[in-house]
A = this chain, B = another copy of it.
């Protein structure tokens, strides 16, 4: 019997080579255990609504009305929808050419792209052109589109931080390119040293690789750090010197848990640097409705903004986007709503602010926004939930650090904690015998013992002989102590089973 194209042996090797650990072996095993009736705490993926976060009411009202536009003619509609949601639904419907059931332009609705440009202008203080903003089915799809334009063959390299979010490694594999790693310094709070970058590029070039682009994830995933303005300047200067496209993954820009290191966009820093550099560096910045206090992952909405990209290239990206016709229209409206939320004085403003506060992961923005602070004061005082997420990040970091074989940097931003687990050589040996990577072995044991579903550090990349796991900080605050207690109990038992005097994996 001859081999067929969809027999495993015969598949595109790039497909087989790509790894995507966030939904890999650990996730599959967790799903099995859940089917068998075990209670699983899914901390493998930043999926806030799945962990109990409630959607914001106002945007959901607007999109519900857009889905059911006939309600706008119903005399009772005012009994269950506020007037400003009704007005907004009419506004967004007027931007479509046939409601949510019609394909939009392949770049997204022009009216929404205009709202995104206005948001970027307010955020950065520099003009933004709607023609250079493309809406996408989530940020991941945008990243994939851009990498597809950049990667020509295996000789093309993309600089990616290690550890990294495996979207990058998986997509580069899928497209047949080469990942050029640059290491973040765990002992320096996951800082980025430009000398490391230079070394990585020099080494890649000595192997015949053309380094074409550099990825930064800011705030970091899985590492949780916020890049400083000085660091961003160094990176941009480096990209300029080396003619690299900078891909700025800024999907966690609203998820900041401290005040010392605020989020600053790559676009703003680039513009601040002035000509010639501000006119030279090709920058693509990505954002999403899936993170922040929205957490609307399942809607699949995102955008990218292009800076210093030639018009003919933008046309090519447009053409490729056209093949799949258009991003889904309801998520485009979520994006519009995210970048132009209710304003003070709007009927829904107070409720929006209250809910944003409850579900917020964005304590930092709240602290800076005097409007919000004032209107939230009573609520904050009465409910006492101030800084719940900061506290969760803190409980988790402290919990990990209370185990003598675990070290963990504090989560400054994003949604993740990324502790290093020092594994005894006996455990590494046992993992080898079981045919598992050591951190996969550890995470599987953790899952079986406690139901906590994490992602092994090897899925993100780590230095040789060093092991981590990634967990989200999203479980409810009241469940945190129990979860961390359960982790510590497991880890102690693991260490008493495998601990030995023969040494540990290195820090």
Chain A: residues with CB nearer than 8 A to chain B? 2-8, 11-13, 15-16, 18, 20, 22-24, 31, 45, 47-53, 55, 57, 60-61, 63-65, 67-71, 74, 76-77, 79-80, 96-106, 137-138, 140-141, 144, 148-152, 156, 167, 170-171, 174, 212-213, 243-245, 282, 284, 295-300, 309-310, 312-313, 316, 319-320, 322-331
Contact = CB atoms under 8 A, between A and B. Distances in A.
Nearest to A152: B12
Contacts of A213: 5
B101 A322 contact: no
Contact of A98 (B49, B106, B324, B325): B49
A46 B23 CA distance: 36
A164 to B, nearest CB: 13
Given A12-B151, A49-B102, A328-B331, A4 B323 contact: no
A325 B319 CA distance: 24
Nearest to A35: B110
Nearest to A298: B329
B50 A97 contact: yes
A298 B99 contact: yes
B329 A5 contact: no
A176 to B, nearest CB: 9
Given A6-B309, A50-B98, A101-B296, A12 B323 contact: no
A282 B141 contact: no
A35 to B, nearest CB: 10
Contact of A299 (B8, B49, B144, B329): B329
A59 B486 CA distance: 44
A174 B152 contact: no
Contact of A20 (B12, B141, B322, B326): B322
Contacts of A170: 323
Contacts of A106: 23
22 contacts: A5-B245, A6-B245, A6-B284, A11-B316, A12-B148, A15-B316, A18-B323, A20-B320, A31-B105, A47-B98, A48-B101, A49-B101, A50-B97, A50-B98, A50-B102, A55-B69, A57-B70, A76-B76, A103-B298, A137-B328, A299-B329, A328-B328
A103 B47 CA distance: 6
Contact of A298 (B69, B96, B282): B96
Contacts of A105: 31
Contacts of A52: 98
Nearest to A99: B49
Contact of A171 (B55, B61, B323): B323
Nearest to A76: B79
Query: What are the nearest 4 A-B pairs in CB distance?
Result: A49-B98, A298-B329, A64-B68, A5-B212
A5 to B, nearest CB: 4
A51 B101 CA distance: 11
A249 to B, nearest CB: 14
A382 to B, nearest CB: 22
Point out which of A12, A52, A65, A282 has the most chain B C-beta atoms below 10 A from its C-beta.
A12
A310 B151 CA distance: 30
B8 A310 contact: yes
Given A140-B323, A329-B299, A55 B99 contact: yes
Contacts of A6: 149-150, 245, 282, 284, 309-310, 313
Given A80-B77, A99-B49, A100-B298, A324 B15 contact: no
B245 A174 contact: no
A460 to B, nearest CB: 14
Contacts of A174: 148, 320, 323
A57 B77 CA distance: 16
Point out which of A24, A48, A325 has the most chain B C-beta atoms below 10 A from its C-beta.
A325
A282 B6 CA distance: 7
A280 to B, nearest CB: 8
Contacts of A327: 300
A319 B169 CA distance: 13
